[in-house]
Amino acid sequence: MADQIRIAIAGHGNLGRGVETAIPKNPDMKLVGIYTRRAPEMVTPSLAGTPVFSMADLPDHADRIDVLILCGGSKEDLPEQGPRLAALFNTVDSFDTHARIPEYFAAVDAAAQANGRTALISVGWDPGMFSINRVIGEALLPDGATYTFWGDGLSQGHSDAVRRVPGVTDAVQYTRPIPEAVDLVRSAARPVLTTREKHRRECFVVLMDGADAEAVRQAIVTMPHYFDEYDTEVHFISAEEMDENHRAMPHGGFVIRSGNTSSANAQVIEYSLKLDSNPEFTSAVLVAYARATHRLARMGQHGAKTVFDVAPGLLSPKSAAQLRAEQL
Amino acid sequence: MADQIRIAIAGHGNLGRGVETAIPKNPDMKLVGIYTRRAPEMVTPSLAGTPVFSMADLPDHADRIDVLILCGGSKEDLPEQGPRLAALFNTVDSFDTHARIPEYFAAVDAAAQANGRTALISVGWDPGMFSINRVIGEALLPDGATYTFWGDGLSQGHSDAVRRVPGVTDAVQYTRPIPEAVDLVRSAARPVLTTREKHRRECFVVLMDGADAEAVRQAIVTMPHYFDEYDTEVHFISAEEMDENHRAMPHGGFVIRSGNTSSANAQVIEYSLKLDSNPEFTSAVLVAYARATHRLARMGQHGAKTVFDVAPGLLSPKSAAQLRAEQL
């Protein structure tokens, strides 16, 4: 296609590989490059023929790329890369440190505005699709309550936290919503639920030789912020069992808005995701929003944006007339 | 509030009454009038003090109203009212004859464009929230299939069709999704389902004195388009039982997008509604979109629009900065 959207990837971890996998499913796009901090020859693209460049080449490639998808992490990579690259490219990223979104938005917005670029931040499923459903649910049912449940799924942040406990070689952590709480919310009862009543946590841990299992268990279940407010189960397993049963990255969850339109009538809205692969789904969301970013940039809507600023039709390759005729 | 959005209602049926109920739950809005084709003194507003006017007064009241919510029916009222009133007001309507949306859009668009107005058409839950989820689901998971299920719920169009059968005094029809089909779709199996495999229909009928029950049953279950492609159960009940058990208007359903991001990984997105009152929920959606319409009009985005053109943030009374800080 002559007018395919030229997409490039900055960073080749789980998310970058997910974007690579997603692009061929979108015929209006082509992948024009993978940019890495490693030596380019060390990176094997999953699609044969995709050129791999050094991240340092990016400033020279501004005219080759319509949208650059930033696939780095929120902790170390994006706070630096986001503003710097939004001065040079239209970008999409999955910045997910909720508490720091306002300052990240401001930094990216300043860079993008000053250079006539469009930068869509915090795209994915949470922040992202879940956020949209929280906002719409509250707007439709102002007299109501919103509940977000996560899981069953593997939490990367919590798995990392467990891996840092002395005596631990490897670990994964699963977040599980508590079925009784979910049922109560779905019944329109609008319960007030504590953190402990909504989710429980389950850890699978490989110990170092000679580590004290009970000390490790105590260190995990009492860890502030991560585990102390939850009921946490810890299972000790072998390295073999870890490799066999815990390498997939399933996740998901649901956003429920329960409200009343009148005293007689309760209404319940639920949005749910059941994901075999968390990073592949996040990448698929990034790719659809790259299409919207390209369109916003062409419409002259520059600066930082979020999913709240993107009309649903901009995500689809179909024209507005086709969407009205076929999908309204 | 000095800068409340001034909302008016055209048509005081179920939807109009639902809008009346919804407005007080939205402190940034006020209801400035109900316009009716009946004699205004025949209409009792549910909120004491709401002025009631004749529909004929509308052209003289253009400077009193920010957004006019059209609460008439899609069959008789909106095809005439929609274009005529979009020349005078910013409007929102729930036009739901799917097959005629393109021509309705064109007529409303011409009137609104020519007069610098913004007219949001086909707002509600289907068309409306379900449409958004069909479009976003397909954009996120292009390799996939979309399924829409309706119910359990009372279908007004089908109930009307049964009431027109000779020998019937009163009737209601419930649409029910078939649980086995729903489970199969949720499992990511992407089944191909016939109409009969997705939903069944259940009718509760009050017969006229002396009517032939078996003839009525036959006329219902073989009715083209409405019932012939479904398994339909017909129950004959008394007028008393009808009044006692079948006056509520529950509805709902779900949109499921099932797709693969890679051959190994299936992802399932589900949006579901469980509604005690179909018209009150539709009205709540109309009111939230009236806010967005007011904003689009102020931004100079004139002409006909659909839910596909409305960014989620425009539905919320909160500022973009507040949404980013609190709900992203």
Residue numbers in chain A where pLDDT is lower than 50: none
What is the tens place of the pLDDT at every residue in B166-222? 999 999 999 999 999 999 999 999 999 999 999 999 999 999 999 999 999 999 999
What one-character-per-residue DSSP string does A138-187 give? Answer: HHH-SSEEEEEEE-SEE-HHHHHHHHTSTTEEEEEEEEEE-HHHHHHHHT
pLDDT at residue number A120: 98
B272–A139 C-beta distance less than 8 A: no
A294, A324, A326: best mutation site toward chain B, by most B Cβ within 10 Å?
A324
**Any CB–CB contact under 8 A between A290 and chain B?**
no
In this structure, the strands spanning B5-10 and B67-70 are parallel
Closest residue on chain A to B144 (Cα): A25
Quote the CA–CA distance of B147 and B145 in Å, as a whole number. 7
Residue the block writes with tokens 């779905």? A186
Residue B1 clears pLDDT 70, i.e. is over it: no
Quote the CA–CA distance of A280 and B144 in Å, as a whole number. 14
Quote the CA–CA distance of B315 and B288 in Å, as a whole number. 5
In this structure, the strands spanning A153-154 and A168-177 are antiparallel
Quote the CA–CA distance of A69 and A56 in Å, as a whole number. 16
Residue type (1 letter), B152: D
Q: How far is A220 from chain B (nearest CA, A)?
A: 29
Quote the CA–CA distance of A6 and A30 in Å, as a whole number. 5
Residues of chain B with Cβ-Cβ distance to A102 below 8 Å are 321, 324-325
Residue B285 clears pLDDT 90, i.e. is over it: yes
**Any CB–CB contact under 8 A between B189 and chain A?**
no
Strand segments, DSSP code E, in chain A are 5-10, 29-36, 52-54, 67-70, 90-93, 118-120, 144-150, 153-154, 168-177, 199-207, 232-236, 251-260, 266-275, 303-305
Residue type (1 letter), A289: Y
Closest residue on chain A to B96 (Cα): A328
Q: Give me the mean pLDDT over the B248-263 stretch.
A: 96
A134–B274 C-beta distance less than 8 A: no
Considering only CB atoms, A327 lies closest to which of B135, B186, B328, namely B135
pLDDT at residue number A2: 57
B98–A140 C-beta distance less than 8 A: no
Quote the CA–CA distance of B261 and B117 in Å, as a whole number. 42
Identify the burial level of B233 via C-beta atoms within 10 angstroms of its C-beta, where 0-12 means exposed, 13-18 middle and 19 or more buried: middle
**Any CB–CB contact under 8 A between A273 and chain B?**
yes
Q: Give me the mean pLDDT over the B304-320 stretch.
A: 98
pTM exceeding the 0.90 threshold for the entire prediction: yes
Identify the burial level of A21 via C-beta atoms within 10 angstroms of its C-beta, where 0-12 means exposed, 13-18 middle and 19 or more buried: buried
Considering only CB atoms, B311 lies closest to which of A142, A275, A308, namely A308
B127–A317 C-beta distance less than 8 A: no
For B223, residues 6+ apart whose C-beta sits below 8 A from its C-beta are B161, B165
Contact yes or no for B175/B201 (Cβ under 8 A): yes
B274–A268 C-beta distance less than 8 A: yes
**Any CB–CB contact under 8 A between A262 and chain B?**
yes
Residue B2 clears pLDDT 70, i.e. is over it: no
Contact yes or no for B217/B243 (Cβ under 8 A): no
Residues of chain A with Cβ-Cβ distance to B291 below 8 Å are 139
- Interface contacts A/B by beta carbons within 8 Å: 208
Residue type (1 letter), B78: L
What is the tens place of the pLDDT at every residue in B89-145? 999 999 999 999 999 999 999 999 999 999 999 999 999 999 999 999 999 999 999
pLDDT at residue number B293: 98
Residues of chain A with Cβ-Cβ distance to B135 below 8 Å are 312-313, 315-316, 323, 327
Considering only CB atoms, A328 lies closest to which of B122, B277, B323, namely B122
A25, A28, A267, A315: best mutation site toward chain B, by most B Cβ within 10 Å?
A267
Residues of chain A with Cβ-Cβ distance to B277 below 8 Å are 261-262, 264-265, 267
Residue type (1 letter), B104: Y
**A residues 82-111 lying closer than 8 A (beta carbon) to B:** 98, 101-102, 105
Q: Give me the mean pLDDT over the B152-178 stretch.
A: 95
What is the tens place of the pLDDT at every residue in B35-83? 999 999 999 998 888 999 999 999 999 999 999 999 999 989 999 999 9
Reference B260, options B126, B103, B145; nearest CA is B145
Q: Which residues pair with B5 in a beta bridge?
A: B29
A280–B102 C-beta distance less than 8 A: no
pLDDT at residue number A181: 97
Quote the CA–CA distance of A253 and B123 in Å, as a whole number. 27
Closest residue on chain A to B268 (Cα): A274
pLDDT at residue number B252: 96
Closest residue on chain B to A315 (Cα): B139
A102–B324 C-beta distance less than 8 A: yes
**Any CB–CB contact under 8 A between B132 and chain A?**
yes
Considering only CB atoms, A261 lies closest to which of B102, B277, B321, namely B277
pLDDT at residue number B295: 98
Quote the CA–CA distance of A297 and A180 in Å, as a whole number. 46
Q: Examine residue A152 and say whether the peptide bond preceding it is cis (omega within 30 degrees of 0).
A: yes
Residue type (1 letter), B280: E
Closest residue on chain A to B266 (Cα): A276
Residue B292 clears pLDDT 90, i.e. is over it: yes
B251, B278, B324: best mutation site toward chain A, by most A Cβ within 10 Å?
B324
pLDDT at residue number B323: 97
Contact yes or no for B118/B147 (Cβ under 8 A): no
